Amino acid sequence: MSDLATLHSWPTLEKPVLVVNLDGWIDAGQAAGTAMTTLRELVDPRLVATFDGDELLDHRARRPVLRIEHGVDRELRWPEIRLEAGTTAGGRAVLLLSGPEPDMRWHRFTGEVVSLASRLGVRMVVGLGAFPAPVPHTRPVRLAATSTDASLAGQIGVVPAVIEVPAGAQGVLEHAFGQAGVPAVGLWARVPHYAAALPYPAGAAALLDRLGPLVDVEVDTASLHAAAAVTAKHIDQLIAGSDDHAALVRQLELSHDEEEGLAGTQFGDLPSGDEIAAELERFLRGER
């Protein structure tokens, strides 16, 4: 154990799964964060370890929160990366790694997490994320996977393309666990561009609905699906006021439905990503 992590307890776990969600990287519609919060409520975790914020975080970018009551300082809350352990009602052991994505010392942080997970007997690692995509809110949320294991990624579905993108800390951890021989997969919800700046519970529900059977965890997502239905109606009302926006959604629906019947993604004559982003940002600013 290095001086980067502080142990608070050492649980005895039976073949735990590690679920990772670090703030600060892509999380369209707050889908991954909402999924993690729901999972935490399910397993009622206890603290296992915390990681040194002074070593990992830029506190000018991630400032502590000071609670002031009538001029009196009552509480100072520092951003914290936490490793927690819990068990579902069915007895499934779950480890949760959450908090802000490190601003520095990623090599040390990654090595520490992999070492702790190895000592705790982790058998699989799942990262949660969500990205804005040219998809309609009127269709079920689909996931895309990343993994060092092609067969594992194929169980979820992938974006059939060769791309190079900036990596988040979750991606670095995923790669490191793969090299260490531990199956690791990232679950990414595709959230409509025009809903990416709003809470999108359908994305969180989709992540948990797929996480459950993947790692043998029962998660009740009924409340998320109910919230998703309300959100969809609200978006319908916003879009109904603009023929251009309604036409865009119809085009996205057509592309989605065509893709469902094809082996690979076919975007056809959809607008470019920049065009979609610019149009939908204007939509959100004007209609939210």
pLDDT tens digit string along 201-216? 999 999 999 999 999 9
pLDDT the model gives residue 264: 40
Q: What is the DSSP letter of 61?
A: T
Mean pLDDT throughout 184-200? 93
pLDDT the model gives residue 280: 47
Cα dist from 106 to 57, 173, 181, 186, 248, whole Å: 11, 9, 20, 18, 40
What's the number of domains the chain is made of?
A: 1
Mean pLDDT throughout 267-287? 49
Q: What percent of the chain has pLDDT over 70?
A: 90
Ranking 67-81, 111-125, 153-167, 183-197 by mean pLDDT, the lowest is 153-167
pLDDT at residue 36 greater than cutoff 90: yes
In this structure, what CATH number is given to the domain that contains residue 96?
3.40.50.10900
How much is the pTM?
A: 0.87
Domain interval for residue 18 = 5-287
Q: Is the Cβ–Cβ distance between 131 and 174 less than 8 Å? A: no
pLDDT at residue 269 greater than cutoff 50: no
